[in-house]
């Protein structure tokens, strides 16, 4: 315990799933946490969990794809806690599995706004604070869908590939500053976003097959991603920079898929 003692951290998408697990773990490890989600009741519930466990947290309801909102919760952290050491830009949406011919520009734009513009804004507004202090860790949630095909819908996969590129390019843009930028690429994790997959499988009685395509033959849970985020946020990862790290049970070693016809 205490791997983040004295650190100030922001976690977006903290109202559920990976974001909630990460916010709770960061707080348990000693960070002062600003938990952000666009659903106010959900992020307040996360904050209540953290406070009950003895952690320090404030909750903010905000849209991560809105620049003023992003600047607002970053400024809030700096004003409230005197600085910013870690930001985990985790919030994202899947967009569902809409056939390509039925996808619209607006559909694409909203997925890109949340999944790619959101991390860009987090990096843009967090980095100056970290550069001034000579260090900081920026973490983004990408996906194995951003590495290869057959792990997500078209706009979702494109947005996550964009996150990986964003992490690589900004890590180099911050050359010599001490600011690290990395991405986590989750595989199949049971969260609110993937709930339809799990619900459908359980309704068909095929839930034991969920995750069977990876070498561990199982799906993951949010806490397993949170522990990778903790590592990247901590000084243990002081020489890890510009990386997209898959946490997927080995799925991305092959990305196998079942034929559609």
Active-site residue numbers?
Answer: 156
Both tokens of 190, joined, read 């049971």
Contacts of 216 (CB under 8 A, 6+ apart): 249, 250
Please provide the size of the chain in residues. 261
Q: Count of H helices and E strands in the chain?
A: 8, 7
Query: Do 182 and 132 contact (CB within 8 A), yes or no?
Result: no
DSSP state letters, 199-247: HHHHHHT-GGGTTTTSTT-S-B-HHHHHHHHHHHHSGGGTT--S-EEEE
| Strand positions, DSSP E, the chain | 8-12, 32-37, 56-61, 86-89, 136-141, 179-186, 244-247
Query: Do 92 and 102 contact (CB within 8 A), yes or no?
Result: no
Query: Do 32 and 40 contact (CB within 8 A), yes or no?
Result: no
Give how far the C-alpha of residue 185 lies from the chain's centroid of Cα atoms, to the nearest Å.
9
């Amino acid at each position: 315990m205490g791997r983040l003692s004295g650190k100030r951290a922001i976690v977006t998408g903290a109202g559920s799933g990976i974001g909630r697990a990460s916010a709770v773990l960061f707080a348990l490890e000693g960070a002062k946490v600003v938990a952000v989600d666009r659903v106010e009741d959900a992020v307040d519930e996360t904050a209540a969990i953290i406070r009950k466990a003895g952690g320090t947290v404030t909750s903010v309801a905000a849209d991560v794809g809105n620049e003023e909102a992003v600047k607002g919760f970053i400024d809030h952290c700096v004003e409230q806690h005197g600085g910013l050491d870690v930001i985990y830009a985790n919030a994202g949406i899947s967009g569902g599995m809409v056939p390509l011919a039925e996808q619209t520009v607006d559909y694409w734009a909203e997925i890109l706004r949340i999944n790619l513009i959101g991390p860009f804004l987090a990096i843009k507004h967090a980095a100056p604070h970290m550069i001034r202090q000579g260090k900081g860790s920026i973490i983004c949630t990408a996906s194995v869908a951003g590495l290869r095909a057959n792990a997500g819908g078209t706009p979702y996969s494109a947005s996550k590939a964009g996150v990986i590129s964003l992490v690589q390019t900004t890590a180099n843009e911050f050359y010599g500053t001490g600011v690290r930028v990395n991405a986590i690429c989750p595989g199949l994790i049971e969260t609110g976003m993937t709930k339809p997959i799990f619900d459908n499988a359980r309704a068909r009685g095929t839930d034991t097959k969920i995750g069977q395509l990876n070498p561990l033959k199982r799906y993951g849970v949010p806490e397993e991603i949170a522990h990778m985020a903790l590592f990247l946020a901590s000084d243990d990862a002081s020489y890890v920079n510009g990386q997209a790290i898959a946490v997927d049970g080995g799925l991305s070693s092959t990305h196998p898929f079942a034929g559609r016809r």
